[in-house]
A and B are shown apart, each in its own frame.
Chain A
C-alpha cells in the first residue's frame, strides 16, 4: 500500500490531524508526516500518490482508501490555489519531511551555504543587495544594506538574530516556515553569519508557538555539523507583542524588560550586548538560500514590481473561504487575492473591509482592492504591507469596535517607555467610546478641580471630540518611539475615513 502523507503543522493538528493519523495507522497504512501545503481550509489534508483529500476526518478513512471519497480534490500540484503560486521561500511546502536532512539535501539544501562560504563576504553581501530583498518583517528595509553595515562595523564579536516573534494577527508564514522547513532558516542564518562575520546566532520565537520551538531545537541539533563553527540557539519570548520590535527584542534577549530603545544607535552598530547585530525576520533569512544559489539573486530581482522585488508569502486569513499561504511575486492586487484565489468570505456575505499588515495595518475598503501589493503603493495609500497578513471581514464587522480594539490592543501591549503610546492608547479608547455615544456632555471630575486652571469646564461636541482624536493620533504617529504607538493610528484613521457610519450619529 502506498504511503499516506499528512502534515504535522500546528494548524493541521488543531483541526484533528493526530486523530486522523491514528485512524490511517489503524487501517494498516504507513503515514509520513510532511510540511503543510498551506491550503488551510482543506486541513487536515491527506495526500496519497499526489492526490489530495480534505478536510479529512477519521470517519473518511475507509472511503479515501477505497477511492470513493467525496473529499477528493485531485492532484494537489494541479490545484488552482497551488498552481497559481510562485513558491521560492515555500518551495518545499507540502513536499518534504520537516526534520529530514535527507529530504533537505535532496531538494537543494546547503548548496547556497557551501557556495557562499567559498565566496568573499563582500561578494555575498553584494549579491543580497543585488537581489533587492527587503526585510519581510514589516519595515521593508533592504536586507543587503543592513548586512553591509554590520559587515563593515568594527568589532570581533557580532551576532545574527532572527526575529520570529510573529505576533500580528492574520499572519502565520513564519510559523509555517519554522515548522515546515526549519533547515532553510538555519541555512539562511549561517549564510548571514558568514557574510557579516558573526559566530553566534539567536532565534527569538514567541512562546505561543511551541510546535515551532520544538522543531527548531531538533533541527539545530541535527544541522550542527553543517553550520559549524556557527553556533545557533533558540530563545523563547514571554508573551509580549512589542518584542517583535527589534530593539525591544534585543533587550528581551539580554534578559531585560522588552522596552524599546531609541535609535540611533542602530542595532547594526550597537545591537545585542552592545555588539554589531543583524536582526532579520524569519522570511527574510529563509529567502537567502534561494538568493545565494547560483544565479539566484538575478532571478529574484527579476520578480516583483518597482522597488518591491521577489516574492511575498501572503497570508489569507480571517473571514475567507480559502485561507492559507499564497506566495507570489509582488504586484498582485487584493481583488484577485480575496475574490478569485480566496473565494470570497467564509460566511458567504459581502466583504466589508480587509486589514493588511496585522493589527497596525490600515483597513482597506473594496473600492481600493485594485492597489498592487507593493511597499510604495501601500505607503502612498496610507496603508502598509507589514508582514503580508490579509485579514478579511464581512459586512457584519463593526469598524468602530475594531478601531476601539486597535487602541485597546496598543494599551495592553505598550512597553510603556514613551508617553504617546502608553497614555495615548488609553485616551484613544475613551475618545472612541465618547464619539460613539455623541460626545462628552459634561467636564469630568478632574477637569472641574479648582487647580485645573487650563482645563475646559464645558463638555465637548462630537465634532470637537473628533478633532481631539485627530490631534491625539498625530501625536502618537509622530511622537512614538516605535511602530506600536506610531502605527496604531492607521487602523483607526482608515476605519473612520471609510466607515464613519460605524462611529455613531
Chain B
C-alpha cells in the first residue's frame, strides 16, 4: 500500500465532520481494500482505536479487509428481481463465473420493474436473460 497516497486521503478528510465514512470509501477505492496498515493510520489520525476502525470495515458490505483482484459481477437477487426469474439464471451464471469472476449478490440496484439486473465495472444492465447474463459474466 502506497503510504503517500494513504496520507493524502487521510489529510483530505481528517478535519471534516464524520470523516471516517468518506475516508474509508476513498481508501477502498484507491487500494481495493482497507487493510491493517490503513486501519492503523486512520485510527491514529482520527484519535480512534484500531478496533473502532476495524468495526466499520467489518460492518459495511462495501469495505473489504483484503484485495480481491477478480472482476466483480453484482447480480441483484432481491424480491423484484426474484419475481422476474433471477433465481433460474443463477446456476448458469455461477458456472460461467467459476473461480475467475467474483459473482456477488446485491440487494437491489433500483431497476425493479425491468429485472433481472446486474452491475459490472460501474455499468448497469437490466432485462437480462440467461444468455445475456452468461455472456456478461464471461467477458467481465
Interface residues of A (CB under 8 A from B): 10-11, 13-15, 40-41, 43, 166-172, 175, 207-210, 235-241, 252-259, 273, 315-320, 323-324, 346, 355, 358-359, 389, 391-394, 397, 402, 405, 409, 412-413, 415
Contact = CB atoms under 8 A, between A and B. Distances in A.
Nearest to A176: B110
Interface string B49-73: 0001001100111110000000000
Interface in B22-71: 22, 24-25, 46, 52, 55-56, 59-63
Contacts of B79: 169-170, 318, 355, 358-359, 391, 402, 405
B111 A14 contact: yes
Given A208-B106, A359-B78, A10 B18 contact: no
B60 A239 contact: yes
A11 B122 contact: no
B83 A319 contact: yes
Nearest to A320: B113
B80 A14 contact: no
Contacts of B55: 257
Given A41-B114, A172-B110, A235-B18, 7 more contacts: A14-B117, A169-B107, A240-B61, A315-B113, A318-B113, A391-B112, A402-B82
Contact of B124 (A14, A207, A258): A14
A393 B56 contact: no
A11 B114 contact: yes
Contacts of B109: 208
Interface in B75-109: 76, 78-84, 106-109
A15 B21 contact: no
Contacts of B21: 235-236, 238, 252-253, 255
Contact of A255 (B19, B62, B124, B126): B19
B20 interface: yes
A210 B121 CA distance: 12
26 contacts: A11-B126, A14-B117, A169-B107, A169-B108, A172-B110, A172-B111, A172-B113, A175-B110, A207-B62, A208-B108, A235-B22, A240-B59, A240-B60, A240-B61, A253-B21, A255-B46, A257-B59, A258-B60, A259-B59, A273-B17, A273-B18, A317-B83, A318-B79, A359-B107, A402-B79, A409-B107
A169 B78 contact: yes
Range of interface residues on chain B? 35 or more
B1 to A, nearest CB: 20
Interface of B: 17-22, 24-25, 46, 52, 55-56, 59-63, 76, 78-84, 106-115, 117, 119, 122, 124-127
Contacts of A41: 113-114
Contacts of A415: 59
A462 to B, nearest CB: 25
A318 B126 contact: no
A14 B62 contact: no
Contact of A391 (B17, B83, B107): B83
A36 to B, nearest CB: 11
Residue among A207, A240, A252, A255 with the highest chain B CB neighbour number at 10 A: A255
B82 A14 contact: no
A315 B114 contact: no
B114 A169 contact: no
Given A14-B111, A235-B22, A170 B56 contact: no
B120 to A, nearest CB: 11
A241 B108 CA distance: 10
B43 to A, nearest CB: 12
B60 to A, nearest CB: 4
B17 to A, nearest CB: 7
B61 A169 contact: no
B67 to A, nearest CB: 17
Contacts of A253: 18, 21
Contacts of B119: 208
Nearest to B77: A405
Given A10-B124, A239-B60, A40 B18 contact: no
A392 B79 CA distance: 9
Contact of B84 (A167, A252, A346, A355): A346
A13 B122 CA distance: 12
B114 A40 contact: yes
A355 to B, nearest CB: 6
Q: Which one of A167, A207, A209, A318 has the highest number of Cβ atoms from chain B below 10 Å of its Cβ?
A: A318
Given A13-B124, A207-B62, A255-B21, A392 B83 contact: yes
A52 B20 CA distance: 47
B107 A413 contact: yes
Contacts of A207: 25, 62
Given A11-B114, A13-B124, A255-B56, A391 B18 contact: no
B56 A323 contact: no
Contacts of B124: 10-11, 13-14
Contact of B18 (A168, A254, A359, A402): A254
A15 B108 contact: no
Contact of A257 (B25, B56, B81): B56
Given A318-B112, A319-B83, A14 B60 contact: no
Contacts of A208: 106, 108-110, 119
A168 B109 CA distance: 10
Nearest to A396: B85
A169 B110 CA distance: 7
B19 to A, nearest CB: 6
